[in-house]
Structure 1
Amino acid sequence: MSRLLLVLGLLLVLAGLAWPWLSRLPLGRLPGDIHIVRDGVDFYFPLGTCLVLSVLLSLLLWWLRR
């Protein structure tokens, strides 16, 4: 468990350092993402992005457990 937490922490640090490059990826602006702008309200739900990330993480975890 501690090894998993260390690896996840290191991945978060690396993602934070690589944020200028990661922010250029089209994630968050995919078809299926819901963005509603009304009077004084801005609602955003990245449904398409969540689905893509879920599939990618599921495949990665499946590959690591094999």
Structure 2
Amino acid sequence: MSRLLIIIGLLILAAGLLWPWLKRVGLGRLPGDIMIERGNFTLYIPITTGLLLSILLSVFLWLLNR
């Protein structure tokens, strides 16, 4: 269990560090991501990006456990 938590933490850290480069690729602006801008207020809900990352992480962890 502790090894799994360390791996998940490292993946989250890597995603955070690589986010500026991932944003250039288009991750974070996919169709299905909701962005509402009104004056000084911005609401961003990355539904499609979250689903895509969840699927990729699930496949990665499934392959890791095989």
Fold agreement, TM-score > 0.5: yes
Measured after TM superposition, the shift of residue 2 of structure 1 is 5.7
Structure 1 residues not aligned, in runs of 5+:
none
- Once the two structures are overlaid, the 10-residue window that deviates more, 31-40 or 46-55, is 31-40
Measured after TM superposition, the shift of residue 41 of structure 1 is 1.5
Structure index of larger Rg: 1
The number of equivalent residue pairs is 65
Question: TM-score, normalised on structure 2?
Answer: 0.70
Aligned-pair identity (%): 48
Measured after TM superposition, the shift of residue 38 of structure 1 is 1.7
Measured after TM superposition, the shift of residue 21 of structure 1 is 3.3
Structure 2 residues not aligned, in runs of 5+:
none
- In structure 2, do the counterparts of structure 1 residues 45 and 24 end up closer, same or farther at CA, with 3 Å as the change threshold? same
Per-residue CA deviation, residues 9-36 of structure 1 (Å, 9 max, x unaligned), is 48726862x5553332211000000001
Paired letter, 1:29:
R
Measured after TM superposition, the shift of residue 3 of structure 1 is 8.1
Provide the residue aligned with 1:58 in structure 2: 58
Q: Which has the higher helix share?
A: 2
Provide the residue aligned with 1:12 in structure 2: 13
Provide the residue aligned with 1:33 in structure 2: 33
Per-residue CA deviation, residues 38-58 of structure 1 (Å, 9 max, x unaligned), is 233211111110000000001
